[in-house]
Amino acid sequence: MGYRYNKIGIIGLGCMGLPMARNLAQKADIPVLGFDVMPKPLEIFEMAGGVPVRDVTEIYKDCDVIMQVLPTHETVIHSVEEALRYGNAGKIIIDFSSTAPDIIWELKEKTEQAGMKLLDAPISGGTPAAEAGTLAIMAGGDKEVFEAVRDILCMVGTPVYVGPCGSGSITKLVNNIIAGMNMLVIAEAYALGEKAGMDLPTIFEATRGGYAGGPVYENKVPKLIRRDYQPGARIAVHRKDIINAKKFAEKLDVSLPVTDVLLQIMDWMMENGYGNEDQIAMVKYYENSMKIKIGNE
């Protein structure tokens, strides 16, 4: 489509957005603007070569490509509506957030009416992949728009075009059901090992090369063993995705019994004040039920 951009912007410099913004600032040959409500991420972003802005409307007005990595549906909707308010036709909005498909479809209509384009491009891989620039990116929208910004997407990860607008969000629901259950079953299995008096690092070494192994296993088991619950992604955000999956399944008139178990334990985490911890902190559910302490600080 011959699309050209002079400035790109990213809104939301949290545990995923900040390393993504740093990669963009270091790899792009055009100005990269960044905004967050907290000052510290802006300082780090500036040190990486980015252009921090204190007024987010600068991004909506000046950037040809507007990216957002936001934690809630409310913030996603507000950001897009502000882009429509302050921006102009021709801009491309890339939503890296985990947004429900029906909300994406509604926002697509609004952006098209304003002459803008929307890609839903949720990401997966947690903070380590965001830092390495190797995120999985599940992109939905017009194929020509995807191709126009593919080079930007490649600066933060590996983009795969999955279909029309909303397809990225649906793909992310599939991804997060699998990832969530993977982390939950790791927590459950290692709780069993602890209860049996086994040495958890030894279990990890013995099993990491088998079918249990993989990226999630390599990242999360050491955190569990160290009792490191600093979030690569927060329980509260992942739980939002699981609720989205449940609601979408209801619209399709299907049940998700295994997902129900995951949501039940995530609900327990929220009720007990653990919503801002890493997903592997779900091991605390088993510590409570088995009356044990799992791992060592």
Closest residue by Cα to residue 294 from 282, 283, 278: 283
Instruction: State the Cα–Cα distance between residues 5 and 17, nearest whole angstrom.
Output: 21
Q: CB neighbours (10 Å) of residue 61?
A: 14
Instruction: Tell me the H-state helices in 48-142.
Output: 57-62, 73-86, 101-113, 126-132
Residue 76 neighbours by CB under 8 Å, 6+ apart = 68, 70, 95, 97, 99, 103, 107
Radius of gyration from C-alpha coordinates of the chain: 20
The residues that are catalytic are 172
Instruction: State the Cα–Cα distance between residues 257 and 264, nearest whole angstrom.
Output: 11
With b for 16 or more beta-carbon neighbours within 10 A and e for fewer, the 240-260 pattern comes to: bbbebbbebeeeeeeebeebe
Q: CB neighbours (10 Å) of residue 130?
A: 27
Residue 280 neighbours by CB under 8 Å, 6+ apart = 183, 186, 187, 220, 223, 224, 229
Instruction: State the Cα–Cα distance between residues 290 and 196, nearest whole angstrom.
Output: 11
**E strand or H helix at 283:** helix 283-290
